[in-house]
Structure 1
Amino acid sequence: MPASLEGALFVFVLATFVGFEVIRRVSPLLHTPLMSLTNAISAISLVGSIVIAGGEKSQLSTILGTIAVTCSMANVVGGFVITDRMLKMFKKREPGK
């Protein structure tokens, strides 16, 4: 296994554990702002996948970039839908509804 791949896998595993611990320790009151921030970070991956899909390096990179755009867009839209539902939980309900 190449050293660069080992380093990348190490960083990925470490980031997974750190992210899990950070989110687990966040107060439930702060989950909505955390979701909004996560959606913004997901939008950055969407921009990156658009750049890769638009680069005409090879047909494979275009196909993989298009798949990445689709997955990233689904992640961003789904995240904002969930955030909207979480925000609606904080609104006062009108009588009779």
Structure 2
Amino acid sequence: MGRMEKIWGKDCWEFQPKRWLKDGVFQQESPFWYPIFQAIPRICLGKDMAYIQMRSIAATLIERFEIDVLNKDTFPGYIQSLTLRMKGGLPINVYHRT
């Protein structure tokens, strides 16, 4: 559909940003016009539950333990993967609250 002459005109194989300009102002097309981009928002179905669990665990740890981050003056590097991780982890000391 991205190169159909019926939809985009005779110059369908050319990059023409002016297609979306009307009187020099950008006019967004309907998201349903080109279904490859999908008109519906995509969200993770378990996102809300994951946030609830994260807050619950963080609150429990903060209530029971004192967490001291080591090397506070250095910025950790990142490892790029499916999820963003810290290179070498985050060195901490954990003390039980009294």
TM over 0.5: no
More strand by share: 2
- Whichever structure has more helix as a proportion of its residues is 1
Rg larger for? 2
TM-score (norm 1): 0.30
